Structure 1
């Protein structure tokens, strides 16, 4: 059996005994078309299972009403929440989103940009992959006049609007808190990749140590991909040292959770012997035992602001150059049991004296 022919606006016009141009105007919410006609056209389109050709429409009117979103991975609550925030704003102005994952793979990211350009998206919103160091694919999009907005993982090599959290301040607050809990050998899990967020978190870690005159030990900085298994192997590496750290600050919650698993398996108390803190406020951090101290990145707000900046770019006059805007959100330190060393030690002493 052959496949059914594709339903067009001509089929809808024939069913309603009106012209194809009237159907087209009704589907595009033209004010010259009556509400009764619009409702009849929409009803007939649903009955006939009409699927609009967005690419053809984009060629006709210059707008596809589609935004391409590229994220490293969709299985992180942070990125899912940012996308939700973007969609909230996009839906208000009748825009839809196409979500793609780069998996932190440079070649995949390049292919995705090319695919989105072929799909005639009106713009691209992206969080750059860990392995991306060449930005020519994004520059190609800009040369075609496609608006580009970056969030979270950004670069100053592109003259575009950016939305990010103050990673430096978030890291500084974490280390400051650990120092106030009496920690003096504070380890840090970071990434070997040249990604701005991890460089800024490392800088915040080192500056906090310096400002509070706490020694920096190079062997306590462990580089990895910051996944759960990486957190486990990094913690095991630290426990091989002649002197253990008394705290670990991981640049991701997943790394901190892997470290917590290893401590539990070895019977090492957290936070009494090793305090822990992560970054990201993933949902699981409030359910671990002890609950994990972390940094909230306000992902939903980040998504909304990113979308607002994106649509602001449409308001720029064609003969005027768009002035990129950088929005930096203030992070919030969420203190939970995994880092409250002073309180846990006090409770242990009280319990032993009973």
Structure 2
């Protein structure tokens, strides 16, 4: 059986005995074409199974009306929430979104950058992998004046638009909150320090300890990818022997939820014996028992700002001529039962 042949506007024109240009204008809702002719053309297009070739149209006008998005994992709450906001906002501007995930693989990220460049996206938004320290594979977008915005996981020294959360303040507020509840021995569970998120949250943790005259203990700080399996291994190390910590600041909610489960399964009462704080305000933190205190990163605000920045750069004549600029999205500590109770420490 022969492959199905793709119908074109030439086929529609032949069936209706119209010119190709008339069919093209009718399909594009040109004001000079009558409503009757437009309806005839659309009806025949449906009958023939005609599909517009958006790629070919993009080649003609040098606009694909698509934005590329690279996130580490679409399964994580924060990037998933941002993706939803971006897709909805971009549709308001008449743009579609191509969503890609790097799975925290630098090799995959490089491949996706090349794929999206070949797909002629009109702009690119990126949350980098945990291990991206050399961002030169993004240079092709800058060289070709294609708008490029980094968010959340961002480069430190690369001339692009950056939109990120206030991770230092988030780390500081989380730690200070535990201290205000009477905690004196606070564990910090961090991701790899090659990623800006975790280096800044660690700095906030250290600063809060120093301000409240508590020692920084290397044996109370753990670094690894923030997965459930890694969290269980770390929990076993934390509670291997006494004295147990009286507070834990985990830099993502998956880790905080896993620690809560570990404590429950091992007879460690939360918050009576150990208080726990997570990060991102994942909806799961509200429905577990006890509910988990977390840091809200406001993904709706960040998603809206990413789209606004892309639209501003698309409208600019030379979008890559700008220098490094950084926009900080405020964070907010959301207190719940996992850190409840306790008297404030004297300062």
Q: For the residues of structure 2 that align with 1:40 and 1:165, how far apart are their CA atoms? A: 53
Q: For the residues of structure 2 that align with 1:284 and 1:76, how far apart are their CA atoms? A: 12
Paired residues of 2:178 and 2:247 also in contact (CA < 8 A) = yes
Q: CA deviation at 1:4?
A: 0.7
Q: CA deviation at 1:117?
A: 1.2
Output one character per residue of 1:127-166: Cα deviation in whole Å (capped at 9) or x when no partner. 1011222212111222122211111111133211121111
Match of 1:349 in 2: none
Match of 2:288 in 1: 288
Q: For the residues of structure 2 that align with 1:161 and 1:39, how far apart are their CA atoms? A: 45
1:7 aligns with 2:2: no
Q: For the residues of structure 2 that align with 1:237 and 1:320, how far apart are their CA atoms? A: 48
Q: For the residues of structure 1 that align with 2:40 and 2:298, how far apart are their CA atoms? A: 43
In structure 1, the gaps of 5 or more residues are 344-354
- 3-state SS, counterpart of residue 23 of structure 2: helix
Change (3 A) 1:64 1:289: same
Match of 1:154 in 2: 154
Match of 1:260 in 2: 260
Q: CA deviation at 1:116?
A: 0.9
Taking the TM superposition and a 5 Å limit, the aligned residue runs for 1:151-230 are 151-230=151-230
Paired residues of 1:230 and 1:258 also in contact (CA < 8 A) = no
- 3-state SS, counterpart of residue 69 of structure 2: strand
Change (3 A) 1:119 1:43: farther
Q: For the residues of structure 1 that align with 2:184 and 2:315, how far apart are their CA atoms? A: 52
Paired residues of 2:145 and 2:318 also in contact (CA < 8 A) = no
- Structure 2-normalised TM-score? 0.93
- Structure 1-normalised TM-score? 0.91
Paired residues of 2:145 and 2:319 also in contact (CA < 8 A) = no
Output one character per residue of 1:103-139: Cα deviation in whole Å (capped at 9) or x when no partner. 0001111111111111111111111011222212111
Q: For the residues of structure 2 that align with 1:220 and 1:297, how far apart are their CA atoms? A: 25
Paired residues of 2:163 and 2:327 also in contact (CA < 8 A) = yes
Q: For the residues of structure 1 that align with 2:320 and 2:225, how far apart are their CA atoms? A: 42
Match of 1:269 in 2: 269
Q: CA deviation at 1:42?
A: 4.3
Change (3 A) 1:33 1:154: farther
Paired residues of 1:293 and 1:337 also in contact (CA < 8 A) = yes
Taking the TM superposition and a 5 Å limit, the aligned residue runs for 1:1-354 are 1-34=1-34, 37-38=37-38, 40-318=40-318, 321-322=321-322, 325-342=325-342
In structure 2, the gaps of 5 or more residues are none
Output one character per residue of 1:56-110: Cα deviation in whole Å (capped at 9) or x when no partner. 2222110011111111111122111101111122111211011011000011111
Q: For the residues of structure 2 that align with 1:31 and 1:157, how far apart are their CA atoms? A: 50
Q: For the residues of structure 1 that align with 2:322 and 2:43, how far apart are their CA atoms? A: 41
Output one character per residue of 1:151-201: Cα deviation in whole Å (capped at 9) or x when no partner. 111113321112111111111111111001000000000012411111111
CA RMSD of aligned residues (A): 2.0
Change (3 A) 1:93 1:27: farther
Q: For the residues of structure 2 that align with 1:315 and 1:109, how far apart are their CA atoms? A: 27
Output one character per residue of 1:224-249: Cα deviation in whole Å (capped at 9) or x when no partner. 11112222111111112442211100
The count of residues paired between Structure 1 and Structure 2 equals 343
Paired residues of 2:130 and 2:192 also in contact (CA < 8 A) = no
Paired residues of 1:316 and 1:322 also in contact (CA < 8 A) = no
Q: CA deviation at 1:337?
A: 0.4
Q: For the residues of structure 2 that align with 1:36 and 1:156, how far apart are their CA atoms? A: 58
- 3-state SS, counterpart of residue 267 of structure 2: coil
